[in-house]
Amino acid sequence: MTAIRDIMSKVVVSIRPDASMMDAVKVLTKHHLSGAPVISSDGKLVGFISEPNLMDVLLDADVRKEKVSEFMTTEVQFVRPDESISEAAAIFAMYGIRRLPVLDNGRLVGVLTRRDMLSHALFDPEPLEEPLTELIPGLVEFN
């Protein structure tokens, strides 16, 4: 079983909750990201900021100075490094998100992206079990 820690990105671009919305735009565009975890000064995940959260900077000049904490999503899906990548695949499938923060004892230790999962598929000849099969017992694959 491949664990999330085996394929996650350990270098994580994050944003502080007190950063301005324009600072968040700068960070995401510089690193070509569609979103990033928002981390408190003590390393705890407090939210997630993504492109949809940032769109108001295009429409309202005052928003550009507002803090990320006012616009971030606070209900964040996450995974743990010891979980299987099948569990992450289920979350990606259910929520349609692009990246998952990886937390160990509440601290951010990495990020797992859909691209990380796809890259793993290039090297692992065995496909994952359909992630929704465990959640929906009646799900049957038709060929």
Length of the chain: 143
Please name the residue that has the structure tokens 């859909």: 114
For the chain, what percent of residues have pLDDT higher than 90? 64
What mean pLDDT value characterizes the chain? 88
pLDDT number for residue 43: 86
pLDDT reading at 73 higher than 60: yes
**Phi first, then psi: what are they for 128, rounded to 5°?**
-70, 155
Degrees, nearest 5: CA angle 22-35-97? 150
Cα distance between residue 65 and residue 20, in whole Å: 5
Cα distance between residue 12 and residue 29, in whole Å: 15
Here the tokens at position 127 are 């496909």
Q: Where are the domains of the chain?
A: 4-123
Closest CA to 122 of 21, 7, 1: 7
Closest CA to 11 of 89, 108, 88, 85: 108
pLDDT tier at 141 (50, 70, 90 boundaries)? low
For domain 4-123, give the CATH superfamily. CBS-domain (3.10.580.10)
Cα distance between residue 7 and residue 113, in whole Å: 9
pLDDT tier at 127 (50, 70, 90 boundaries)? low
Q: pLDDT (tens digit, 9 = 90+) per residue, 9-66?
A: 999 999 999 999 999 999 999 999 999 999 999 889 999 999 999 999 999 999 999 9
pLDDT number for residue 93: 87
Cβ neighbours for 1, distance < 8 A, ≥ 6 positions apart: 84
pLDDT number for residue 30: 97
pLDDT tier at 120 (50, 70, 90 boundaries)? confident
Which has the minimum average pLDDT: 9-18, 22-31, 112-121, 134-143?
134-143
Cα distance between residue 123 and residue 14, in whole Å: 29
pLDDT number for residue 128: 63
